[in-house]
Amino acid sequence: MDDWGAVVRASEKRGDWDKAITVVGSVAECSSPDPYLHDAHLWHMDLLAKAGRLDELARWGERDRCARRRLDRLLYEQGRDSELRHRADCGDKTAFYKLVCLLRDRGDQKAARQTVADIDPTDTYATHLALEPHTRVERNGSG
């Protein structure tokens, strides 16, 4: 990692999201054969999430699987089941799995099983997730 990495880390540390996002975004490449450039892309998506730029992350997610996954994880962490449900209903498998886990982790296995039945009852992984015993998970101070 060159000097840009130090600039991004320093900017992130002081909460200067604009600078951190701009600098890492200038070198980031999704699915790059260069692992440093792909890692920069993942870092870029993570910074968008940390900065609360959900709309921007969603726009990236229209064409970028890394952004979609990061957005789905953020929605899960924030307990935003209605947004995960909408994304799952539109075919986003990661959102589907995160929604099932969110419902299960809240202790509502009945809702988790019903969600699987409603969206894709043939998805064996989602069924497995819905049937696992719930574990209490801390999400951003709640849980």
Last residue of a domain, one of 53, 70, 87: 70
Flag whether 142 is in a domain.
no
| Lowest mean pLDDT across 5-14, 83-92, 117-126, 132-141 | 132-141
pTM value > 0.75: yes
pLDDT for residue 141 is more than 70: no
What is the DSSP secondary-structure string of the chain? --HHHHHHHHHHHTT-HHHHHHHHHHH--TT-SSHHHHHHHHHHHHHHHHTT-HHHHHHHHTT-HHHHHHHHHHHHHTT-HHHHHHHHHTT-HHHHHHHHHHHHHTT-HHHHHHHHHHH-TT-HHHHHHHHSPP----BTTB-
Q: Say whether both 15 and 63 belong to one domain.
A: yes
Q: What is the pLDDT of residues 18-77, one digit of tens each?
A: 999 999 999 999 988 999 999 999 999 999 999 999 999 999 999 999 999 999 999 999
Q: Say whether both 40 and 62 belong to one domain.
A: yes
Flag whether 61 is in a domain.
yes
- Check residues 135 and 68 and name the one with the higher pLDDT: 68
Q: Say whether both 56 and 1 belong to one domain.
A: yes
